[in-house]
């Protein structure tokens, strides 16, 4: 049996990848199913990616990630070690997911739609329509962080803090030890903030998500620490990722004026258009796993404890599964499904609420601003994420 060293090497710092990451991954996925990079084993084939995301032999990659990052002992590392990110498959992870899954499943998330619509309307009412604006600052960052404030019954003026801190702590995925101090400080500030919000809300429970989770805690479904960790996790993962995915959707749709106008006249097409956005240009280019036992993968021996990366970008652009992947087609069949939110016991619990946020932004924009123009936009790509570094536009041309 072949070893990891026999796998073809993938260089995420190559000029080809940095210039055209998805096309580069597409070419690779046509000739290899599994490769290796400096960070670990890379899975490029769609079926293998989907299966590895669900495979019980693969657990969470966060413990190894914390070691690579070099996060020192303290409140931040203690939070990470006790949050759901560190728990592999088994009873603890299943138990921790149950109360959140009930509240944020498809039906549970729909109850947030009216609040999200309100956030979208109010946010757009603050944006100047007669000048070019930084849409990341005035829109993409504000929507998810303001929705989070609704969830925890916090003042909307806290949204800027939530957004800024979420961007900071998500640097854990850079795997760069230089970010560890900023990440630690960000988590400590977020932990303090969440403790205060829980203390305040316990005195006067309402109908928001935090109140529901406090009730679930009082009923024994979660401990107080687990409640706190979930509220931190929601801020950690939701705001940063949602902001970038909203920006990606705006760029990909607005850069195709015929589709933009089509959606403005037919909001029923927005969900399928967004499925294609997430297939064509996913926020998550890969996800991390770690082998829980020795594994044989496509004839290669992968030892226990090895970092594994199902490469979502490669899977979505693999022509064996998505014919003509470079074509942006909102009428593309729903199956095979995009892998942007993972799957199984590791699926993103907030995926339904996040999708509603993006749907409502695009529905509002295409209807109210049919002539919206992008003046400047810029993507950057790491092995893990697509990021939007610049998005300037004019709502009314």
What are 57-106's pLDDT values in tens digits? 888 777 777 777 777 888 877 888 788 777 776 788 788 888 888 898 89
For residues 175 and 66, the answer to whether their CB atoms sit within 8 Å is no
Q: Describe the crossing of helices 75-82 and 62-69 by its angle, rounded to 10 degrees.
A: 160
- Among 111-115, 132-136, 177-181, the minimum mean pLDDT is found in 177-181
Domain housing 179: 4-394
Specify the DSSP class assigned to residue 38: T
Q: What is the pLDDT of residue 316?
A: 95
pLDDT tens-digit map of 310-360:
999 999 999 989 999 999 999 999 999 999 888 777 778 888 999 999 999
d(CA 235, CA 239) in angstroms, rounded, equals 6
pLDDT in tens, 168-209: 988 877 778 888 888 889 989 999 999 999 999 999 999 999
- In sign, the C-alpha dihedral spanning 59, 64, 66, 72 is positive
Give the pLDDT of residue 185.
Answer: 92
CATH of the domain at 348: 1.10.630.10
Count of beta carbons in the 10 Å neighbourhood of residue 56: 12
Rounded to an integer, the average pLDDT of 206-216 is 95
DSSP code, position 385: B
Confidence of residue 397 (pLDDT cuts 50, 70, 90): low
Greater model confidence, 148 or 53:
148
Q: Are 118 and 146 in contact (CB under 8 A)?
A: no
Q: How far is CA 324 from CA 26, 262, 372, in A?
A: 10, 22, 28
**Structural domain count of the chain:** 1
Q: Which two tokens stand for residue 76?
A: 């931040």
């Amino acid at each position: 049996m072949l070893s990891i060293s026999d796998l073809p090497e993938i260089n995420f710092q190559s000029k080809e990848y940095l210039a055209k990451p998805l096309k580069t991954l597409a070419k690779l996925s046509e000739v290899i199913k599994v490769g290796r990079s400096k960070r670990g084993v890379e899975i490029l084939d769609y079926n293998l990616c989907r299966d590895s995301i669900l495979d019980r032999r693969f657990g969470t990659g966060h413990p190894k990630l914390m070691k690579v990052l070099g996060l020192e002992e303290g409140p931040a590392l203690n939070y990470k070690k006790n949050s759901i990110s560190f728990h592999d498959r088994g009873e603890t992870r299943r138990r921790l997911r149950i109360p959140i899954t009930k509240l944020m499943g498809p039906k549970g998330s729909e109850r947030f739609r009216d609040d999200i619509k309100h956030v979208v309307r109010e946010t757009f009412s603050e944006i100047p329509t007669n000048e070019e604006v930084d849409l990341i600052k005035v829109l993409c960052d504000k929507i998810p962080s303001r929705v989070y404030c609704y969830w925890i019954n916090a003042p909307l003026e806290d949204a800027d803090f939530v957004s800024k801190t979420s961007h900071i702590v998500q640097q854990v995925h850079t795997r760069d030890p230089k970010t560890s101090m900023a990440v630690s400080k960000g988590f400590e500030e977020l932990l303090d903030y969440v403790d205060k919000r829980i203390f305040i809300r316990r005195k006067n429970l309402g109908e928001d998500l935090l109140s529901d989770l406090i009730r679930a805690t009082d009923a024994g479904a979660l401990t107080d620490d687990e409640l706190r960790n979930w509220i931190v996790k929601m801020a950690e993962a939701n705001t940063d990722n949602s902001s970038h995915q909203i920006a990606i959707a705006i760029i990909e749709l607005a850069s195709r004026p015929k589709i933009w106008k089509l959606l403005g006249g037919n909001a029923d097409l927005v969900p399928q258009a967004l499925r294609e956005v997430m297939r064509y240009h996913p926020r998550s280019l890969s996800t991390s796993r770690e082998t829980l036992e020795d594994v044989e993968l496509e004839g290669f021996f992968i030892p226990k404890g090895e970092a594994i990366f199902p490469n979502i970008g490669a899977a979505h652009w693999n022509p064996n599964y998505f014919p003509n992947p470079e074509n942006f087609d909102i009428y593309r069949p729903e199956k095979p499904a995009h892998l942007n939110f993972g799957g199984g016991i590791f699926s993103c619990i907030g995926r339904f609420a996040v999708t509603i946020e993006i749907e409502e932004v695009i529905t509002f924009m295409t209807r109210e601003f049919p002539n919206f123009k992008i003046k400047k936009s810029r993507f950057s790509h790491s092995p893990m994420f697509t990021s939007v570094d610049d998005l300037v536009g004019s709502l009314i041309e």
